[in-house]
Structure 1
Amino acid sequence: MSARPLPSATLAAQGVDAAGVHTFLDALEAAPDIEPHSLMIMRHGHLVASGWWAPYTPDRLHLLYSVSKSFTATAAGFALDEGLIGLDDPVISYFPEFEADITDPRSRAMRVRHVASMASGHDAETYDRAHALDREDLVRGFLLLPPDREPGTVFAYNQPATYTLGAIVQRVTGQSLTGYLRPRLLDPLGVGEVAWLADRSGRELGFSGLHGTTDVIARLGQLYLREGAWEGKRLLSPEWVAEATRAHIPTAGAMGDQDRSDWDRGYGFKFWQSRHGYRGDGAYGQFCLVLPEHDAVIATTAATEEMQQLLDLVWEHLLPAFEDGPLPGRSDADTALRERLAGLALPPAAGSPVPPARPQDWSGAQFTPYGGVCADQPRLTAVEVTAAADGRLLGLTEDGHRLDLRIGEDGWTVAEEPLPVAVSGGWTDTDTLAVDVQFLETPHRLTVTCSLPDRTFTARWHTTPLHGPRLLSMRAPRVSV
């Protein structure tokens, strides 16, 4: 299932200065703590610039983390438009089987609009506490946890609130979120394959876990920019779009004391208010930036813990590139930018594909974890280097399962099975093997370093996976709608 192409145009025709995009790319690639994966820019309904940093590619699914929430909200918008849910309905009314268990008056007063706006009344994230109260049904665990304040009075970024909103939609429709969205959103927008992580109950998570292309992010943003219309056809009501994208609850100071000015502007129905426009927002730099004042949408995927810095670069460099009308005489500049975007690539790790000396010492060499297995790192128990017909393999053993990675020549070596990865690096000296593993359907990179003298290895995530660090789970679900 492939996506229909978006309407495209040159930057100059849509009033976008290529020089500003160049400057943004320069700043992005110079930022040591930002690893960009993709960029799409839409202006006046046209795709004017797009690029993927190899080994990432346009058709590759990518874990969107909390941009998933904006898709869950959109499913709720459809359900509201169809009369299946009401924003002022008590949450408990959708789960009558829990009626006798939920006795706290604040829990019983919680409305659909409260879980949609992260205003359940809890002061902080409840995921671990709710899960501990009911390991089989997160909704029940969440409702069993009494809110600290009256619902609607306080913001807390709270995964079970979004999970509960998604669970309501799945209950009233009798479908998964992707199943419900396919004919209403995904097909009309021309979206190809997507996949969403589900829990043990079979519910898609709602708060995270959606895997889609960058193109999917851009299309969702364009739908909201056009107030719910797509190619002249009404999909979502403009009333829903207006409600979803306005501030319902203040967020100032809610995300910590550091300078996070784009997190202090208020929260809608799974959309953040920004200094400019509003956005869907996913961990490590997955962004759907909707800029009504510029009639533009910017979609990014990345791997960074410095998300405010990434937004700062957009505001500093891309916003000034949006001008009021067409820019004549810019064809050469547009061509140069298009060529640059086509050649984007992440620098591979340095290293030789063969040991510089004593290769016999590395043949069949086995390594144990240096300092023991760490809780926030892969639970690797062994690493082995073996010979193969086309070079050498690095075998990583975790929970009794082995993942073999081919150490290739210079650059990235891409493999699709048993999961999509790209590998770079090799021997940095006689005694050290260092390999980077890019898990291509996620934002995550792992560096494995083996030391021959003491036969130990270290394994380090550059950004820690939030759905658990098991290597063989670092891919999109293969059941998709």
Structure 2
Amino acid sequence: METASSMQLPRSLPEAQGISSAVISNFINAVENQNLGLHSFMLLRHGYIVSEGWWSPYEPDLPHMLFSLSKSFTSTAIGFAVTEKLITLDDSVISFFPEDVPDEITENLSKMNIRHLLMMGTGQVTDTMDTLHQSADGNWVKAFFTIPVEKDPGTHFLYNTGATYMLSAILQKVTGQTLLEYLEPRLFTPLGIRGATWGSCPRGINTGGFGLSITTEDIAKFGQLYLQKGIWNHQRLLPEEWIHEATTKQISNGDGDHDWAMGYGYQFWQCQHGAYRGDGAFGQICLVLPDQDTVIAITAGTNSIQGILNEVWEHLLPNMKEAPLQEDQISKANLAEQLKNLSIDPPQLQQSSLLEAQINGKTYTLESNQFLLATLSISFNNHEAEFTLLDELGEQKVIRLGRGQWVESFAHILDPSTNRIMSSFTWSSEDQLQLSLLFVEMPFLITLDLKILENTLILKQRINVNMGPLEFDDIIGRI
């Protein structure tokens, strides 16, 4: 098998690698018809990218928030640390943090080791992240140890993001470096992954279980390294034994014939068809199919990862051939046109309203609300509008909106930092203004509906995907 190169991955026509352009077109049609919310898609076969697409205004060079796909990178860092003999998988978790352990250490807690963190078999029966987030002193390690270990470690699967955080904390304790700093020379530089960012806890430890942002091609490179069993550019980065152990079933995770019950490795999910994956909330996927010598990288804003996988199993998997295929010029041209025109279109309902003049530049004072917003105003010109929010701390957020088209802005709307936002506005009726905010380095699309009354407005907010509610309480504003 060809080994993918260190910077950009090599490109090839799909037919040259045994997949027809028509099959890829069918897959894209299927995910579009199912409204599966893809933002990007990259298909690798035999080490070559054979197809790639971004739903504009998502772009190849923009990083995308990975959520729990970050976990597979944390597992990889542990693989490096084990290889360098800095730790072993049998090291007890409490041994690294004598200053943070509870006064009374239960037998189960004392038995919990690094392997149990990796396989999500800590013995805890509730996810630990809420407790970590709520710790008043910001000491997430100490908070982790307060959660009872009710089961014998290694016997009970619980998807536990706090366990991955503990892997990051152990790594930082042992190396004196953050997870990101540690991975930079070992993984990111060799693979040509540049500009990766990773969120941290209040004490400066990378969150581990979420918080990594990289590009789609970076996800693909990561999958290709695993497919190549740890070799990159003819050099071994990770032992083959580690790759095998991390990506095979270490613990059972339920019953059924779907992709959430095939077993769990070291921060990798087992899949049907001999495949495995790293994945994150809302459709961030790194799917490795060893039998087909294939990697699929996807970013999205969806609540149906299984829906995406089902389309892969139906359209792509059965149509991967061993030998090259003859080129079909019509299918090739159709696919190229389809990929070029992928887009998330801004709503274009009613272009303008007579109320624009009435509300132009007026400031509305907002009633008390969960987002701590104090005032809002909006001003219009021919092709754009400017939406200004002031929060209760006095921070001003200014968002430019295109009239029925996307316009780029930078504002701190969603944590953790300033967001790159593509925004547009339209009128959904004579008295209702609709604003669309697409966060193009995240999976989120926020829609704001402003119902305009005489001296009042009612602001409704909704979001496409979320860990919590998708719709929020109305906010009343008065001039």
Task: Give yes or no for TM over 0.5.
Answer: yes
Question: Paired residue for 2:21?
Answer: 18
What CA deviation, in whole Å up to 9, does each residue of 1:292-327 have, x standing for no partner?
011000000000112211211111112123112100
How far did residue 133 of structure 1 move? 5.9
How far, CA to CA, are the matches of 2:306 and 2:388 in structure 1?
Answer: 37
Shift of 1:369: 6.4
Q: Do the aligned partners of residues 319 and 384 (structure 1) sit closer, same or farther apart at CA in structure 2, a change above 3 Å counting?
A: same
Kindly provide the amino acid, as one letter, of the partner of residue 364 in structure 1. G
Letter in 2 for 1:415: S
Which of 212, 216, 219 aligns to 2:218? It is: 216
Alignment match, 1:7: 10
Q: 1:237 deviation in Å?
A: 0.5
What is the CA distance between 1:156 and its match in structure 2? 0.4
Q: Closer, same or farther in 2 for the Cα pair 1:308/1:291, shift >3 Å? A: same
How far 1:260 sits from its partner (Å)?
A: 8.1
Compute the displacement of 1:380 (Å): 3.9
Question: Residue type of the partner of 1:10?
Answer: L
- Once residues 393 and 183 of structure 1 are traced to their aligned partners in structure 2, the CA distance between those partners, rounded to angstroms, is 43
The residue type equivalent to 1:407 in the other structure is L
Whether the 8 Å contact between 1:218 and 1:297 is mirrored in structure 2 is yes
Deviation at 1:145, TM superposition (A): 2.0
- Write the mapping of 1:291-440 to structure 2, written as runs, cut at 5 A: 291-352=289-350, 355-367=352-364, 373=369, 378-387=371-380, 391-399=384-392, 400-416=394-410, 419-440=419-440
Structure 1 333/110 Cα, relative in aligned 2: closer, same or farther at 3 Å?
same
Kindly provide the amino acid, as one letter, of the partner of residue 18 in structure 1: S
Q: Are the aligned partners of 1:428 and 1:434 in contact in 2 as well (CA < 8 Å)?
A: yes
The whole-number CA distance in structure 1 between the counterparts of 2:82 and 2:365 is: 55
Deviation at 1:100?
A: 6.4
Alignment of 1:229-240 (within 5 A): 229-240=231-242
Partner Cα distance (1:174, 1:157) in 2: 27
Count of residues in correspondence between the two structures: 455
CA distance in 2, matches of 1:260, 1:405: 46
* Residue 267, structure 1, aligned to residue 261, structure 2: no
Offset of 1:92 from its aligned partner? 1.2
Q: Is the 8 A contact 1:407 1:426 kept in 2?
A: no
**Once the 2 structures are TM-superposed, how far is the Cα of residue 162 of structure 1 from its aligned partner?**
0.5
| Structure 2: distance between partners of 1:264 and 1:379 | 41
Residue identity (%) = 38
Superposed CA offset, 1:76-97 (max 9, x none): 0000100011001111111232
User: What secondary structure, in the 3-state scheme, does the structure 2 residue paired with 1:98 have?
Assistant: coil
| 1:368 positional shift | 6.4
How many Å separate the matches in 1 of 2:158 and 2:372?
31
Kindly tell me: are residues 100 and 157 of structure 1, through their superposed partners in 2, closer, same or farther at Cα, counting changes over 3 Å? closer
1:475 matched residue in structure 2: none
Opposite residue 295 of structure 1, the aligned amino acid is D
Conservation of the 8 A alpha-carbon contact between 2:262 and 2:271: yes
- Work out the CA distance in 2 between the residues paired with 1:465 and 1:423: 22
Q: 1:199/1:130 Cα in 2 relative to 1: closer, same or farther (>3 Å)? A: closer
Q: 1:256: which partner in 2?
A: none
Does residue 1:66 correspond to 2:68, yes or no? yes
SS in 1 for 2:423: strand
Change (3 A) 1:329 1:462: closer
Per-residue CA distance 1:99-146 (angstroms, 9 max, x = gap): 563511111110100001100001221222355566422122112322
Q: CA, structure 1 residues 416+136, in 2 after alignment: closer, same or farther (shift >3 Å)?
A: closer
- Tell me: higher relative CO, structure 1 or 2? Use CA pairs within 8 A at least 6 residues apart: 1
Distance change >3 Å, CA 164–CA 29, structure 1 → 2: same
CA offset digits 1:318-371 (Å, max 9, x no partner): 212311210013344234313321221112112455x3324321213445669x
TM-score (norm 1): 0.89
Specify the SS of the correspondent of 2:57.
Answer: coil
